[in-house]
């Protein structure tokens, strides 16, 4: 597959609205993102979230510079709907309702057939005579009511039901230290997620975060930044408390990424 | 577009929702064995089937609302399904939804939001509703995070804060001076009252005996106010006002010599980073939007990259919350979950 993945720029966030794209980003490109929507089937819980998937700036930078993805913006979604879309939606709803009607009837007939013996038996007892089984069933089938439109299902679309062309987004990313560290760690084969909840820049996983604990907390520091003892103690303590190694990441004069790990021996 | 068969399957599935996928325990070191790869692929594939699901709801349970871009609210045509005690606000007999409420209800498959004559997709809703001047993406993330856990969030209205305003005490001198048995109270700011009350009455006759009785019960609390706050003339009478509650019963304020901001510092409200966005009520059935009572938390929202607010800013935020309300700051950003910080004054152990 070499088609470029479209990332949707929407009110300051970069989102993925397509499950296939989210899957590809994860399995082919080791980009895991972060789901922020409610899961359609179980929306009132926080264990697992649903589409859209939001990407960090560094993930976006990584994907765009490698030509894996491009950023688009769907400006037309801000505009009032076009007439032929309205028409299409009404037609779709009508077609869906009549299909649901047919399937509902089929289902009822299926249930009726399962009960056929009992129904005929019952009729026989009532009339005390011989009745035509076929005829009884025909009668019963005629009695099946129409499905009320109120009971029919209406779909709430995740994405627009018409094909939507994205415009080039007015969005650019500067190559920050964080971006360079992200890409370098990625090159080394790691999975990377945001590290704010551990007080660092990134969390670095040896494999898919679904299955593995993270090994490192990456903290980006400028090469010339003077590190105070406070800073080192803070990060050292943090690392030991959460059983992870703190990595201080910086770029040296030759543009190489340098990593220093903190090892905490004290009590 | 789901086929009719899929839609009806979804309908029967709604009655028996399946559980979340179970996750095997995490490992530390990958072995890259075929078995391990298969496990991971299975997890990913299972998760993707959940993510692939579309939303649908029965027509008689799906509420329709119209998005009004000028008014920045969604107007409900007819309320269907449950939960309307919690969402929306009433005005002139109609119910309206704030952008974040509308979007959350769409995500719950409870609402079909119409814009210019056609229902919007979830993607379009994210685009038209999460505009910065309506409700920023950050705000919505915090909103939906808490709503998913069952909390009720109500936008803090800008004009009426729950902390007492001077005009709230207009009635108190009457209580002290009047010799009649009852006092007429006129609320100076009707806007800050719940709608249901506003429509019925704007003045109240309060039986003085009841009020004083109530005060006596609370005397103990009221007298524990520090000397710093007794400079307020309202505290010089025999009966202490009950409403000025921010520091009643909070030992942090009864110890003098801690942080005592000047009035000037406290009254400055412009350019505060910590503005109260939402009043948060705990989960439960007793919540009524017409009479929510004092909130459990007052919520301000910040970003990971924002600066640490100054002490006076934190103090203002704390005092703007009601007496029984816990000030809470929610922080989030791209790629990360929401974290919460609670502000609490601590008394030094000595």
Chain B residue at shortest CA distance from A43 = B108
Under an 8 A CB cutoff, do B130 and A27 touch? Answer: no
A91 touches chain B (CB under 8 A): no
Joined together, the tokens standing for residue B75 give: 């107007």
User: Homologous superfamily of A1-74+166-173 in CATH?
Assistant: tRNA intron endonuclease, N-terminal domain (3.40.1170.20)
Q: Which chain B positions have a beta carbon within 8 Å of A44's beta carbon?
A: 108, 148, 150
Q: Is the ipTM of this complex over 0.85?
A: yes
pLDDT at A128: 74
A243 touches chain B (CB under 8 A): no
- Identity of the residue in B20, B136, B333 whose CB atom sits nearest the CB atom of A48: B20
- The domain made up of A175-260 has a fold known as Trna Endonuclease; Chain: A, domain 1 (3.40.1350)
User: Angle at the Cα of A265 (from A261 to A266), degrees rounded to 5?
Assistant: 130
| Cβ–Cβ pairs < 8 A, chains A and B | 228
| pLDDT tens string A195-229 | 988 889 999 999 999 999 999 999 999 988 888 99
Sign of CA dihedral A138, A140, A142, A147: negative
Catalytic position from the list A205, A224, A259, A267: A205
pLDDT lower than 50: segments of chain B = 159-178, 188-189, 200-202, 206-230, 242-249, 254-258
- What is the nearest CA distance from B293 to chain A, expressed in angstroms? 24
Under an 8 A CB cutoff, do A52 and B123 touch? Answer: yes
| pLDDT tens string A68-108 | 999 999 988 888 888 888 999 999 999 999 888 998 888 88
- For strands B152-155 and B339-342, give the pairing: unpaired
Kindly tell me if the per-residue pLDDT of A50 is higher than 80: yes
A109 touches chain B (CB under 8 A): no
Under an 8 A CB cutoff, do B107 and A43 touch? Answer: yes
pLDDT at B176: 46
Under an 8 A CB cutoff, do A159 and B13 touch? Answer: no
pLDDT at A163: 81
- Identity of the residue in B36, B51, B108 whose CB atom sits nearest the CB atom of A51: B51
Residues across chain B: 350
Distance CA B146, CA B282 (A): 10
Cα diameter, chain A: 102
Task: State yes or no: cis peptide before A52, omega within 30 of 0.
Answer: yes
Catalytic position from the list A86, A94, A188, A213: A213
Q: Which chain B positions have a beta carbon within 8 Å of A51's beta carbon?
A: 51, 122
Catalytic position from the list A62, A123, A235, A244: A244
| pLDDT tens string A113-129 | 888 888 888 888 887 77
Give A 47-66 residues with CB within 8 A of chain B. Answer: 47-48, 50-52, 54-57, 59
Using a cut of 0.90, tell me whether the model's pTM lies above it: no
- The residue-averaged pLDDT of A124-136 equals 77
- What is the nearest CA distance from A267 to chain B, expressed in angstroms? 25
Task: Return the HEC string of chain A.
Answer: CCCCEEEEEECCEEEECCHHHHHHHHHCCCCCCEEEECCCCCCCCCCCCEEEEEECHHHHHHHHHCCCEEEEECHHHHCCCCHHHHHHHHHHHHHHHHHHHHHHHHHHHHHHHHCHHHHHHHHHHHHCCCCCHHHHHHHHHHCCCCCCHHHCEEEECCCCCCCCCCEECCCCCCCCHHHHHHHHHHHCCCEEEECHHHCCCEEEECCCCCCECCCEEEEECCCCCCCCHHHHHHHHHHHHHCCCEEEEEEECCCCCEEEEEECCCCC
Q: Are B151 and A40 in contact (CB under 8 A)?
A: no
pLDDT at B244: 41
pLDDT at B17: 78
Rg (alpha carbons) of chain B, rounded to whole number: 25
Under an 8 A CB cutoff, do B20 and A23 touch? Answer: no
Kindly tell me if the per-residue pLDDT of A3 is higher than 80: yes
Distance CA B301, CA B144 (A): 13
Residues across chain A: 267
Chain A residue at shortest CA distance from B130 = A11
Joined together, the tokens standing for residue B168 give: 């709230």
pLDDT at B331: 84
Give the residue with greater pLDDT, A264 vs B135: B135
Q: What are the structural domain ranges in chain A?
A: 1-74+166-173, 83-151, 175-260
Kindly tell me if the per-residue pLDDT of A142 is higher than 70: yes
Give the residue with greater pLDDT, A162 vs B62: B62
Distance CA A205, CA B6 (A): 38
Under an 8 A CB cutoff, do A86 and B123 touch? Answer: no
B150 touches chain A (CB under 8 A): yes
Q: Which chain B positions have a beta carbon within 8 Å of A52's beta carbon?
A: 122-123, 126
Distance CA B335, CA A13 (A): 10
- The residue-averaged pLDDT of A240-247 equals 90
Q: Is A213 a catalytic residue?
A: yes
Task: Return the HEC string of chain B.
Answer: CCCHHHHHHHHHHHHCCCCCCCCCCCECCCCCCHHHHHHHHHHHHHHHHHHHCCEEEEHHHCEEEEEECCCCEEEEEECCCCCCCCCCEEECCEEEECHHHHHHHHHCCCEEEEECCEECCHHHHHHHHCCCCCCCHHHHHHHHHHHHCCCEEEECCCCCCCCCCHHHHCCHHHHHHCCCCEEEEECCCHHHCCHHHHHHCCEEEEEHHHHHHHHHHHHHHHHCCCCCHHHCHHHCCCCCCCCCCCCCCCHHHHCCCCCCCCHHHHHCCCCCCCCCCEEEECCCCCCCCCCCCCCCEEEEEEECCCCCCCHHHHHHHHHHCCCCCEEEEEEECCCCCCEEEECCCCCCCC
Q: Are A70 and A4 in contact (CB under 8 A)?
A: yes
| pLDDT tens string B84-95 | 888 888 888 889
Under an 8 A CB cutoff, do A77 and B62 touch? Answer: no
Q: Which chain A positions have a beta carbon within 8 Å of B137's beta carbon?
A: 11-13
């Amino acid at each position: 597959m070499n088609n470029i993945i479209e990332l949707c720029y929407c009110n300051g966030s970069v989102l993925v609205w397509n499950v296939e794209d989210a899957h590809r980003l994860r399995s082919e490109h080791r980009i895991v993102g972060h789901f922020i929507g409610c899961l359609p089937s179980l929306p009132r819980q926080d264990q697992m979230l649903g589409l859209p998937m939001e990407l960090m700036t560094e993930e976006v930078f990584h994907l765009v510079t490698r030509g894996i993805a491009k950023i688009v913006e769907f400006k037309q979604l801000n505009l009032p709907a076009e007439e032929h879309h309205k028409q299409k939606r009404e037609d779709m709803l009508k077609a869906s309702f009549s299909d649901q009607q047919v399937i509902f009837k089929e289902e009822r007939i299926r249930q009726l057939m399962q009960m056929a013996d009992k129904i005929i038996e019952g009729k026989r007892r009532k009339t005390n005579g011989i009745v035509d089984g076929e005829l009884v069933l025909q009668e019963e089938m005629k009695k099946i009511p129409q499905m009320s439109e109120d009971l029919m299902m209406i779909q709430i679309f995740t994405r627009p039901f018409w094909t939507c062309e994205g415009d080039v987004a007015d969005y650019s990313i500067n190559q920050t230290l964080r971006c360079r560290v992200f890409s370098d760690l990625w090159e080394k084969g790691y999975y990377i997620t945001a590290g704010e909840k551990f007080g660092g820049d990134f969390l670095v996983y040896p494999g898919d975060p679904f299955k593995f604990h993270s090994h490192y907390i990456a903290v980006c520091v400028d090469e010339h930044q003077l590190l105070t003892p406070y800073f080192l103690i803070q990060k050292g303590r943090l690392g030991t408390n959460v059983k992870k190694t703190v990595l201080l990441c910086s770029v040296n004069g030759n543009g190489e990424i340098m990593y220093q790990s903190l090892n905490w021996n004290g009590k | 577009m789901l086929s009719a068969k899929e839609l009806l399957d979804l309908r029967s599935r709604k009655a028996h929702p399946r559980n979340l996928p179970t996750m095997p325990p995490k490992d530390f070191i990958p072995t890259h064995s075929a078995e391990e790869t298969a496990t991971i692929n299975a997890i990913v594939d299972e998760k993707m089937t959940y993510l692939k699901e579309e939303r649908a709801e029965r027509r008689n349970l799906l509420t329709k609302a119209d998005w009004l871009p000028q008014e920045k609210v969604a107007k409900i045509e007819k309320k269907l399904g449950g939960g309307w005690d919690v969402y929306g606000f009433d005005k002139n007999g109609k119910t309206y939804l704030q952008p974040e409420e509308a979007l959350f209800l769409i995500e719950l498959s409870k609402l079909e939001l119409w814009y210019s004559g056609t229902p919007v997709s979830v993607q379009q809703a994210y685009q038209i509703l999460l505009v910065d001047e309506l409700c920023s993406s950050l705000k919505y993330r915090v909103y939906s995070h808490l709503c998913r856990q069952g909390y009720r969030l109500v936008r803090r209205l800008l004009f009426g804060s729950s902390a007492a305003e001077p005009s709230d005490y207009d009635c108190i001198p009457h209580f002290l001076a009047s010799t009649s048995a009852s006092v007429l109270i006129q609320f100076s700011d009707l806007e800050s009252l719940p709608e249901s009350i506003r429509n019925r009455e704007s003045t109240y006759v309060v039986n003085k005996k009841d009020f004083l009785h109530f005060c006596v019960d609370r005397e103990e609390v009221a007298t524990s106010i520090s000397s710093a706050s007794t400079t307020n003339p309202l505290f010089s009478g025999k009966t202490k006002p009950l409403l000025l509650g921010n520091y009643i019963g909070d030992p942090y304020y009864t110890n003098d010599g801690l942080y005592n901001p000047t009035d000037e510092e406290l009254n400055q409200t412009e350019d505060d980073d910590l503005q109260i966005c939402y009043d948060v009520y705990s989960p439960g059935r007793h919540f009524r939007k017409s009479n929510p009572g004092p909130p459990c938390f007052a919520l301000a929202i910040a970003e990971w990259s924002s600066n640490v607010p100054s002490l006076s800013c934190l103090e203002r935020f704390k005092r703007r919350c009601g007496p029984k309300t816990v000030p809470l700051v929610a922080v989030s950003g791209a790629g990360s979950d929401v974290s919460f910080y609670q502000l609490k004054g601590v008394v030094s152990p000595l």
